[in-house]
Amino acid sequence: MRKEFKIILVILIVVISLVLGYFIGYKRAYDKIESANQNISYNNTQQTFYAKIEEIKDNFILVKGLSVNDINFRGEFTISVVEETELEWRNTKINVTDLEVGDNISITFTGEILDSYPAQIKDVVKIQLLDDE
């Protein structure tokens, strides 16, 4: 009887150790994933889409998304161009005055899109002129 009791006790200790090891490892991995997710700032992720310029007024540009975009970027948007916004054509810096109605551009931005009509994008990081001429 003592020998059977010792064998059962050893098996029980091994099973408990395995179960505890599994749950401790799982908890550590889960905590590591959670801490990594907290360090990601979704507001700072950049997105880029393509558009055609419909209207230019001062530092505001009305654009219409091209059909090559995701469906969320095919509508009309008002973008604001501030001093920090990079404007370029073929890796050469340009000014807002170099842009014309009908030009195709790519728009890189961060932050949210304000839900209005037309939608508003305030944090434009870069505008790249795509036309060859």
Residue 4 phi/psi, 5° resolution?
-65, -40
Does one domain contain both 56 and 111? yes
Does one domain contain both 21 and 48? no
Predicted pLDDT at 5: 83
pTM attached to this predicted model = 0.63
Does one domain contain both 106 and 48? yes
Residue 41's pLDDT band, with cuts at 50, 70 and 90, is: very low
* 3 pLDDT higher than 70: yes
Looking at residue 123, which CATH number applies to its domain?
Answer: 2.40.50.140
62 vs 34, more confident: 62
Say which residue the tokens 């975009």 belong to.
69
Does one domain contain both 72 and 107? yes
- Mean pLDDT in the chain? 86
Does one domain contain both 15 and 36? yes
Instruction: Over range 74-93, report the average pLDDT.
Output: 90
Instruction: Over range 58-85, report the average pLDDT.
Output: 90
Residue 132's pLDDT band, with cuts at 50, 70 and 90, is: low
**CA 82/CA 51 separation, integer angstroms:** 18
Does one domain contain both 23 and 58? no
Does one domain contain both 26 and 75? no
Does one domain contain both 66 and 125? yes
Does one domain contain both 114 and 125? yes
Domain that holds residue 68: 43-129
3-state percent breakdown (helix, strand, coil) of the chain, nearest 5: 35, 35, 30
Does one domain contain both 47 and 24? no
The 10s digit of each residue's pLDDT in 86-110 is 999 988 898 888 888 999 999 999 9
CB 126 within 8 A of CB 88: yes
**CA 16/CA 19 separation, integer angstroms:** 5
